[in-house]
Amino acid sequence: MILVGLTGGIGSGKSTVSSLLAARGAEIIDADDITREVQQPGSAVVEAIAERFGDSVIDAERGLIRAKLADVVFADPAALRDLNAIVHPVVGAEIDRRVTMLAATDKVVVLDIPLLTENPRRGLQAKIVVDVPLEVQVERLVRYRGFTVDDARARIARQASREDRLKNADYVIDNSGSVEDLARQILGLWEWMRSLPQLPSDFRLARPA
């Protein structure tokens, strides 16, 4: 197995890069997808969130009302820490389980983690960053996701800075250009990843630092 991390700020097009790598044959472990899976209605994670934040963030089917929960935690750093303490260990355990299942294969495994800079994971062979200028992020969030300019800037500001993401990057994808340019970069990235050494079959991913 070859194991790398993929990250990028909101609006960077990280999901597009992840999809293109999957089309090349990469095995994608998507932290956002896992988060949604462990937050299914009635799950232990949702019930723990309800116990901490109250039933106002839960609907009649015991599912999360994500917008209400976001309103609570993004305005309150202590509440956000409490939410992360509920969700992150469960997501991390599932990531570890999936990595362990693939350890004895020859797959290129990509951990797609939006907050990899904020929450580093030891044991990755490389950190890949999808990078775009701030104004491109804002424009995409407004055009494609219905954000206001102020909301877009606020969401971006809550994540690691562009400079911090790039600081320890092993490979950078510039996704501010054309689709054709991105495709060329993906080809180069894929060849580079395939050149990394295989990890031992008994490899286990270390817990976050």
Return all residues near 68 (Cβ < 8 A) that are at least 6 apart.
Answer: 56, 57
Strand order in the sheet with 27-30: 27-30, 108-112, 2-8, 127-131, 171-174
pLDDT tens sequence across 48-65: 999 999 999 999 999 999
Cα 179 from chain centroid? 22
Give me the pLDDT at residue 208, please. Answer: 56
Residue 69 has pLDDT above 80, yes or no: yes
Give me the pLDDT at residue 81, please. Answer: 92
